[in-house]
Amino acid sequence: MHAGAATPLQRVKIDYLQDTLLGVNPLSCECMAKVMEAGAGVSLQILSPWPEQLLKAHTVQIKTEGRTYHGVVVDAGKNNANELLVTIKLQG
């Protein structure tokens, strides 16, 4: 995929880590999302429903149809359509 190119809506699996008072909590979800590569990062536009815990994730692995991304969440927030927008800095 070229930088800045968005994929069509697809099913993705997201494995993520969330810090809690009792330590790190590994979580996972499957959802529908658009993926857009941008330089050394990836942006996700995740359609509702999505787990609220994903807002507080810090490290993620995203499996799409044919590609896997690993990285650190730099920004996450809801838009007016109740979609989750996540920006990830890729690692390794």
Q: Residue 41's domain is classified under what CATH number?
A: 2.40.10
pLDDT digit string (tens) for 24-77?
Answer: 999 999 999 999 998 899 999 999 999 999 999 999 999 998 899 999 999 999
Average pLDDT over residues 8-13: 94
Instruction: Note whether residue 3 is domain-resident.
Output: no
pLDDT tier for residue 8 given thresholds of 50, 70 and 90? confident
Instruction: Give the pLDDT score at 58.
Output: 93
Strands (E), 21-83: 23-38, 41-46, 57-63, 68-78
Instruction: Note whether residue 18 is domain-resident.
Output: yes
Instruction: Note whether residue 47 is domain-resident.
Output: yes
The whole-angstrom separation of Cα 22 and Cα 26 is 12
Q: Which residue range forms the structural domain that includes residue 61?
A: 10-90
Model pTM above 0.75: yes
pLDDT tier for residue 4 given thresholds of 50, 70 and 90? low
